Structure 1
């Protein structure tokens, strides 16, 4: 065996021994591998190595949500039914409004607690648009302690499918239970379908269908009239689909006839949800005048701004029947009566100031009576400017003004010399009376005489300038 072979075998043995030694010291070797190298400052000033911190393990917390359970809506006073279309349209905002919805019953109870004991009730009945109208009216009258809004709505109901929900049968008991001061009806959005009448099927807008539908409208109107409750029927708006909008125009005409036949009011909201050409729009002016989104993406249901706009149209009709009771009654004790002060008597014609009016006041939409039709006038001892003019007393009472008629006093045209009849200016009337009067000016010559006279004067002047012979 050569020397090089022996050296090679010795080297292999040394390497094998080192491997065994390293295997036995594996934990310390791993710890050494985790040690960071010493810095220059530690080399110069001392300091050992420090073990690297153990790796940080981040565990993601998984939050499991409980499945939401939706209770089935029924036609009741406390829970209002919403159609599937309305729920689908508002599904995208459900998570964002979950906290607000959770506190909505508490807010509603607090709002009801602030209402006056004598508050008049406005009852809203109908389909899912009636539900939107009720939400708008509830927000509108939220600060009015003398008006409360209740709703009895079924989102999928109508006047066609009386097998699903029969309004002509159920409305009477609802009115007897609620005893409202006014009833607001909004129906028709689900009625674009045939009427099953016995074994016959009446197609939409046919002669038989129209006759039966008018009969059902009349039954509702008579139910309200027999209980002496003011009826306010709110018409349908336009919809995204053209054929649907055409049918709503047809139905609105039937609602108008049925409501006015029993001295009810029909509220036309069509113009509030179309453009200048009468076409459907998703957005338009809101009750504040700003451009807002009125309809949801389905082109059928309303947004919150649309709810408010529907209520804005219905407010004037409601104010007509509640105008005698929207303010709380004033009761004075016997001790307060002697100190009660009445407002001063006055005439509107003499007023220099007026009470500010809100720009959205329903009274600004137009007069309630015809011109001169029994309008009342406040009693006053002070004559109006019109009365003073008729009596010849004038209004300004300033000498020399055109409206100062105090000098005339219904006497003759000739007055004594000592009393002036007009404002004294540059002409002294007393001096004119003492003289022969004012002499008229000389008569003006004709144009021909003026030319001849001017020609003669020129000839005389020419003669005077000529040299003598």
Structure 2
């Protein structure tokens, strides 16, 4: 029996059961976006997609005019060791747009697509992934999109194979965005159906995206993160 006395009243079980319960608040979720110019665009698109969700924070670490091959501009394998110490729940990686070039280490040149180049490149990709997975951070590698035929299409497909293999070998999830931006024949398409309307989503260079296109590109990653991590 419930206690009673001065200042106290009895409360029935029925009354307790009908008291409104506070809905649990969604937990804060932090997404870090790293990469090159495509990564910058994905960050912008992702920030727009979640702007009405105050529990989701998107942090930009992407830098234009950088890549994994050119460590003289910005050394990503070195930088991620420090960046991964920042608070985050997931790291979204978007690289490759600027990587069709020579790797230089210790005064030696390793030319694009040579066996030694691929070995060096794979090690750098693996290092970037492991900087986060070794710390228990979920890593998602968003692939390069299909490009116009005269705009590095075969080269980007080659890099995507490296990204997929190294990401999955080191505990990350690879998100294949290639076919999402192809037509029914598997060829490059500059348009995408947005809100029921055919919309131009690719930039004139055949590689990058319009602002609306970056939301579509980022949305592929966001859908996967939501499905996996329940936020």
Q: Which residue among 304, 313, 320 is the counterpart of 2:211?
A: 304
Q: 8 Å contact 2:32–2:61 — kept in the other structure? A: yes
Tell me whether 1:136 sits opposite 2:65 in the alignment: no
Distance in 2, Cα, partners of 1:199 & 1:149: 38
Alpha-carbon distance between aligned partners in 2 of 1:141 and 1:258, rounded to the nearest angstrom: 29
Deviations 1:363-407 (A, max 9, x none): xxxxxxxxxxxxxxxxxxxxxxxxxxxxxxxxxxxxxxxxxxxxx
Cα deviation, residue 263, structure 1: 2.2
Are the aligned partners of 1:230 and 1:321 in contact in 2 as well (CA < 8 Å)? Answer: no
Query: TM-score by structure 1 length?
Result: 0.42
Question: Once the 2 structures are TM-superposed, how far is the Cα of residue 118 of structure 1 from its aligned partner?
Answer: 4.7
| Distance in 1 between residues matched to 2:100 and 2:149, nearest whole Å | 12
What is the 5 A alignment of 1:62-141?
118-141=27-50
The 8 Å contact of residues 37 and 62 in structure 2, kept in 1 or not, is answered as: yes
Q: Offset at 1:117?
A: 9.6
Answer whether contact 1:265 1:317 (CA < 8 A) is retained. Answer: no
Partner of 2:63: 154
Q: Which has the higher contact order (CA 8 A, sep 6+)?
A: 2
Unaligned stretches of 5+ residues in structure 1: 1-115, 327-469
The residue number in structure 2 matching 1:280 is 188
State the distance in 1 between where 2:173 and 2:224 align.
Answer: 7
SS in 1 for 2:92: strand
Residue of structure 2 aligned with 1:212, choices 109, 116, 120: 120
Output the CA distance in 2 between the equivalents of 1:321 and 1:181: 12
Q: What is the Cα deviation at residue 243 of structure 1?
A: 5.7
Mapped partners of 2:137, 2:205: distance in 1: 35
More strand as a share of residues:
2
Q: CA deviation at 1:311?
A: 1.6
Residue equivalent to 1:339: none
Residues 53-85 of structure 1 deviation map (CA, whole Å, 9 limit, x = unaligned): xxxxxxxxxxxxxxxxxxxxxxxxxxxxxxxxx
Where in structure 2 are the equivalents of 1:5-404 lying within 5 Å? Answer: 118-177=27-86, 179-242=87-150, 244-286=152-194, 288-323=195-230, 326=231
TM-score by length of 2: 0.84
**Distance across 2 between alignment mates of 1:232 and 1:312:** 13
Q: Which has the higher helix share?
A: 1
- Which whole-Å CA distance do the structure 1 matches of 2:125 and 2:132 have between them? 11
Structure 2: 5+ residue stretches without partners: 1-24
Rounded Cα–Cα distance in structure 2 between residues aligned with 1:151 and 1:117: 22
Is the contact between residue 233 and residue 265 of structure 1 (CA under 8 Å) also seen in structure 2?
A: yes
CA contact (8 A) 2:151 2:207 kept: no
Kept in 2: contact 1:272–1:309 (CA 8 A): no
Match of 1:93 in 2: none
Instruction: Assess if the C-alpha contact under 8 Å between 1:284 and 1:294 holds in 2.
Output: yes
Deviation at 1:290, TM superposition (A): 2.0
1:274 Cα shift? Answer: 1.7
Deviations 1:438-462 (A, max 9, x none): xxxxxxxxxxxxxxxxxxxxxxxxx
Matched pairs, number: 207
Cα distance in 2 for partners of 1:241, 1:198 equals 35
- Moved beyond 6 Å, runs of 4+: none
